[in-house]
Structure 1
């Protein structure tokens, strides 16, 4: 079967529309404090709730939104490379917090 430019353009348009729709439809779930990886890393949705005796590395002011590993999605949540496929709260914290460069 010989492809034509018209067929190529139609398939391309449908493919792009499908990708855009899929991205909109896919909503990442929030990370729960009780999930095994979150528990292991001391993740808290509110950094002020971190147990300072258990996580001596924690210092006041450390939050997900000022961590190098955090990518904001909106004002309240974003993605973290430590927890792929999940969103974390901007006000959260975990034991892998790294000061944002710059």
Structure 2
């Protein structure tokens, strides 16, 4: 592989590397986001149901099997597929 080709490949992968949403981020906290749906406070979020996660939410932009993916609620950041927030919506 040439230097130019390896640089191009590195640039491409770097473009896809996004920071993960921090649960303490103001937007995340307002939506009750947790990186692991097993930690959802069901008393605070009574609409939560076992089995809901970012990975099966209509807003999730990752592919099936990805550990993380984009979400329009957290522009420029990724959410954990195993995560959850109060904006969860069933995929069609």
Do residues 66 (structure 1) and 59 (structure 2) align? no
Greater relative contact order (CA < 8 Å, ≥ 6 in sequence): 2
Q: Shift of residue 29 of structure 1?
A: 0.2
Q: How many Å separate the matches in 2 of 1:25 and 1:90?
A: 20
> Partner of 2:74 in structure 1?
83
C-alpha separation in 2, matches of 1:25 and 1:75: 17
Corresponding residue to 1:46 among 30, 36, 39: 36
Once residues 25 and 54 of structure 1 are traced to their aligned partners in structure 2, the CA distance between those partners, rounded to angstroms, is 38
TM-score (norm 2): 0.81
Q: Which has the larger radius of gyration?
A: 1
Name 2:27's counterpart in structure 1. Answer: 37
| Structure-1-length-normalised TM-score | 0.74
After TM superposition, where is structure 1 displaced by more than 4 Å over at least 4 residues in a row?
none
Q: How well do the aligned residues superpose, as a CA RMSD in angstroms?
A: 1.9
May I ask how many residue pairs the two structures share in their alignment? Answer: 83
**Structure 1 unaligned runs (5+)?**
1-16
Tell me, which stretches of 5 or more residues in structure 2 are unaligned? Answer: 1-6
